[in-house]
Amino acid sequence: MPISIKSEREIELMREAGRILKITHDELAKAVRPGISTFELNRIGEEVIRSYGCIPSFLNYEGYPASICVSVNDEVVHGIPSKKRILQEGDIVSLDAGVIYKGYHSDAARTHAVGQISDEAAKLIEVTKQAFFEGIKYAKEGCRLYDISNAIGEYARSFGYGVVEDLVGHGIGQNLHEDPQIPNFPMTRRGPKLQAGMTLAIEPMINIGTHKVAWLDDDWTVVSWDGSLSAHYENTVLITKGEPELLTI
Ligand code: MF3
Ligand code: CO
């Protein structure tokens, strides 16, 4: 499929989807603390999303059983919330959520510290976030898609981190996942030309150790192969002729 260019009306709806998702993440950030279950975080996320008349896009997506993904420590993405999973001081937790507003999607993820965490863990979270910002320096008309991938991947690798390759970012709009796929690692080609009106979910997933991942038996939870800590940072981004507009910040 060609990469869709959104109309001004569609962009307006995606701005609202993004604004509500930002509020959701702000509420989730306040709730993260030692002793809370990943189930409770899911409940809070779903409640905020529905309080704005929106739909949590992840719920039942290809059979996914919850409204947000909660991935702890070596879990990279798609951790399934559970009453038995209680956050502990020193953990890191990645929260990923998506909102549908009047048929249009937003998608964003944050990794948080649970209480006091190690310097090593804090650095991973910071570098993963910065990798996103290195990438979006190229998120504008006139650049090419894999300029973003190269910038993200080279930045994260310069710290010796493993850049996950089995999962990628994506176009977003009337669907959660649209073309193009957006790798977070350096590509040989420069990829398609970026045009104003494209909306992209850019989402580095970075491990302290190997880039390799494995799937748990629940068929959802992705973990780092070597058990090392993993972080995730994602926003929905509107390409313009100038600076990108971050719809979920
Ligand atoms: N946020 C994820 C992504 O960017 C989607 C989660 S998959 C779901 O692709 F099944 F949990 F929805
Ligand atoms: Co996404």
DSSP states along 81-134:
P-TT-B--TT-EEEEEEEEEETTEEEEEEEEEE-SS--HHHHHHHHHHHHHHHH
CB 85 within 8 A of CB 64: no
Ligand 1 mean position, distance from CA 67 (Å): 10
Instruction: Say which CATH number the domain at 91 has.
Output: 3.90.230.10
Q: How many domains does the chain have?
A: 1
Residue 15 structural domain: 8-246
Q: Pick the atom of ligand 1 nearest to 201's CA.
A: 4
Tell whether 3 is covered by a domain: no
Does this model's pTM top 0.85?
Answer: yes
pLDDT at residue 138, as a whole number: 98
Helix (H) or strand (E) holding 80: none
Tell whether 1 is covered by a domain: no
DSSP state of 144: B
pLDDT at residue 22, as a whole number: 99
Q: Report the Cα 235 to chain-centroid distance in Å.
A: 6
Ligand 1 mean position, distance from CA 58 (Å): 6
Longest dimension (CA), the chain: 49
**Mean pLDDT of each 10-residue bin along the chain, 249 residues long:** 96 98 99 98 99 98 98 99 98 99 99 98 99 98 98 98 98 98 98 98 99 98 99 99 98
Tell whether 101 is covered by a domain: yes
pLDDT at residue 1, as a whole number: 86
Nearest ligand for residue 199 CA: 2
Of 67, 65, 18, nearest in space to 47 by CA = 67
Could you give the 3-state DSSP secondary structure of residue 164? coil
Residues with CB under 6 A from ligand 1: 58, 61-62, 64, 69, 78, 96, 98, 107, 201, 203
Tell whether 2 is covered by a domain: no
Rounded distance, CA 15 to CA 9, Å? 10
For residue 180, whether the previous peptide bond is cis, meaning omega lies within 30 degrees of 0, is yes
Phi, psi (deg, nearest 5) at residue 2: -65, 155
CB 12 within 8 A of CB 179: no
Ligand 1 mean position, distance from CA 220 (Å): 10
